Amino acid sequence: MSIPLTGRVERLPVRDVWPHEALAFTPWLSQNLDVIGELVGLELSLESIEQTLENFRVDIIASDARGRSVVIENQFGDSDHKHLGQLLSYYASWNADVAIWIVEKARAEHVKAVSVMNEHFPADFYLVQVEAIRIGDSLPALLPTLIYGPSPETKQAARASRELEERKADYRSFWELLSKRAWEGHGPADAAGRLWYQRLIGGSGNLPGSQYLKYSSGISGHWFVFHLMGEFRRIELNLFYRNQPELATEAFQRLLAAKTDIEHEFGGALTWDAREESMSASIRCDYPSGGWQSDESEWPAACDELLREMDRFEQVMMRHIGE
């Protein structure tokens, strides 16, 4: 079998082929978007080049087959912070769905930055490294390499992260309203709102971005807790002794022995959960609707009900905790 004849790839300085980024490379790329499109898996169509946007000029604005807006930032030389900032400015100002950063050499810190952007931003970010090549006496060609781009896993993580942050904001808003309603005396019948406010806010003045808000009963290991679920609310007496689960079990059993009296005084059934596999135990009551997924117009009434119910629940439980 004869040995096939082959050529050798010759790598050329990009500037030997395109002497000027804005005057040579950008116009050429605008007419050859398929070179980048095939690499990133997008069918790109040119919209404009060197588009003025506020105080910037976007190298290339394109769209893909799905109608999404695409901004492309070209940079000769190594990636740098300035061009990363420009890419983010173009993305934000143009409200782009896709942002492609083309460089000669991608520095490690900018690869990491694009990775983080894909994890936390809704847009798709691509970092592409380019070089010029020629084989023998052939015409020079652009050889692009995808350094980093979005993946289904990173975009799913980004969506989950955004949803979590939105949920934390909802939690804080609800707890702020609950504390405000307590201060104004909308909750307990005795209108002891200022005491409630201090117990809920605590010494830090910060409200949690979590689904629960707790305060001490004044007795070691006994905590009263408000819970905000997606579709319902909960009040709870949580029995927790760090590293001493046997004390939580003993406290729970003492209260369980008075279950009939406690539920009669409270005026309804409670859920009794020994949680034998953990270091805590729980006595609680759930209330349908009014969770963080409900309309915010329902929150004031939901807060008032929780405050009244917790006030009644606390009075009943405190009568029996010390027995």
CA distance 107 to 257: 67
Q: Is the domain of 58 the same as that of 101?
A: yes
291, 173 contact by CB (below 8 A): no
**Token pair for residue 166?**
């939105």
Angle at 294 between CA 293 and CA 299, to 5 degrees: 120
Q: Is the domain of 34 the same as that of 135?
A: yes
Give the Å distances, CA to CA, from 189 to 163, 217, 269, 306, 310: 37, 19, 22, 12, 11
For 158, phi then psi, to 5°, come to -65, -45
Q: Is the domain of 96 the same as that of 22?
A: yes
Q: Among 17-21, 42-46, 129-133, 195-199, which is the least confidently predicted range?
A: 195-199
Cβ neighbours, 10 Å, residue 248: 23
Element (H, E) at 148: strand 141-148
Cβ neighbours, 10 Å, residue 32: 12
DSSP character at residue 158:
H
DSSP character at residue 95:
T
Average pLDDT, the chain: 86
Q: Is the domain of 175 the same as that of 206?
A: yes
Mean pLDDT across the stretch 75-100?
93
Mean pLDDT across the stretch 125-137?
94
- Final residue belonging to a domain, choices 150, 178, 200: 150
Q: Is the domain of 205 the same as that of 311?
A: yes
CB-count burial class (<10 Å; 0-12, 13-18, 19+) for 172: middle
Flag whether 156 is in a domain. Answer: no
Instruction: Name which residue leads in pLDDT, 29 or 240.
Output: 29
Domain count of the chain?
A: 2
Number of residues written out for the chain: 323
Q: Is the domain of 82 the same as that of 192?
A: no
199, 314 contact by CB (below 8 A): no
Element (H, E) at 109: helix 108-120
Flag whether 213 is in a domain. Answer: yes
Cβ neighbours, 10 Å, residue 6: 8
Q: Is the domain of 22 the same as that of 145?
A: yes
CA distance 29 to 101: 13
Q: Is the domain of 207 the same as that of 260?
A: yes
CATH of the domain at 146: 3.40.1350.10
Mean pLDDT across the stretch 32-59?
90
Say what the pLDDT of residue 195 is: 53
Flag whether 308 is in a domain. Answer: yes
* 43, amino acid identity: E
75, 104 contact by CB (below 8 A): yes
CA distance 250 to 14: 76
* 278, amino acid identity: S
Q: Is the domain of 136 the same as that of 285?
A: no
Say what the pLDDT of residue 133 is: 93
Q: Is the domain of 168 the same as that of 315?
A: yes
Flag whether 4 is in a domain. Answer: no
Render pLDDT for 171-212 as a digit per residue (tens, 0 to 9).
888 888 888 887 777 655 444 444 555 555 554 445 556 777
For 147, phi then psi, to 5°, come to -85, -45
Could you tell me the pLDDT band of residue 143, with boundaries at 50, 70 and 90?
Answer: very high
Q: Is the domain of 95 the same as that of 138?
A: yes
Flag whether 157 is in a domain. Answer: no
* Residue 49 domain boundaries: 9-150
